[in-house]
Amino acid sequence: MVQSAELQPGLFGLRLEMEPRLVQACEPGRYLMLTVGESSDPYLPRPYWVRRVSKLWVNLFVGVNGIGSRWLATRRPGDRLDFFGPLGLRLELPPRTRRLLLSGDHSGLNCLLALADNALASGVEVSLVLQEVDDTSARLAPPDVEILSALDADALAWADALYAVGDHSLVQSARTALRSAGSRIPAFGVPHAPLACGVGACYGCVVETRNGARLSCVDGPAFPLVDLT
């Protein structure tokens, strides 16, 4: 690890140095499973969205909410971290996207910012609705991203694609907003699911869809919003 900083109370930004081939694989929507302790407590690794910031570095956000995240947040430059990944399927922009709308909360922020980076690099305009997030977090977004206050009909009329990243209720509210606005843009939800193994072995990350149960870790993390139940 090369850097750790407390961005706001309880939220840390970590910068990790990794092999270039691994950094290259840290596409939007992918995550690392990190060991969060020196003994077997906590036993399970924890998933963290990654955002590529150079050919050698990726950023993570760590919200401190337990002993594992506290341990991780207090690592220092020079410390080595154990992880596997990146895992998950890369989030793709639908063809011909020119105006991308992103919506999410604190927990999905790094995934949203990674998506925004890629979209901006392709000349796509990006607007971001941050729910239950304060101004400090909003300032972490690239300057070219417009921050909106609500996922409403105006925002949906502007966009030609949508990603919503967050807990089940946030993703469902995006689906409701889409339906209320009568919008037919390509729209995807990235619902949080408890990722214990990350490789399809534990069945802890089931996401219910109209096409049956799917595993977030191997089939996701994104699913068409209209398919989510």
From CA 48, how far away is CA 206, in angstroms rounded?
A: 18
User: Of these, 14, 119, 161, 215, which contacts ligand FES (CB under 6 A)?
Assistant: 215
- Tell which positions 50-89 bind ligand FES, by CB under 6 A: none
Residue 32 as a binder of ligand FES (CB under 6 A): the answer is: no
Q: Does 33 bind ligand FES (CB under 6 A)?
A: no
Q: Determine if 204 is a binding residue for ligand FES (CB under 6 A).
A: yes
What residues form DSSP beta bridges with 213?
208
Q: Which two tokens stand for residue 94?
A: 């639908």
CB of 216 to ligand FES, least distance (A): 6
Cα separation, 152 vs 16, whole angstroms = 36
Asked if residue 26 binds ligand FES (CB under 6 A), the reply is: no
- Kindly tell me the sign of the dihedral angle through the C-alpha atoms of 126, 145, 176, 106: positive
Please, which residue, 5 or 213, has the CB nearer to ligand FES?
A: 213
Q: How many CA atoms lie within 13 A of 137 on its CB side?
A: 23
Segment contacting ligand FES (CB under 6 A): 60-68, 98-106, 138-146, 190-198? Answer: 190-198
Stretch that binds ligand FES, among 37-45, 60-68, 94-102, 209-217 (CB under 6 A): 209-217
User: With contact defined as beta carbons under 8 Å apart, do 73 and 62 qualify?
Assistant: yes
DSSP 61: E
Which residues lie near ligand FES (CB under 6 A)? 195-198, 200-205, 215-217
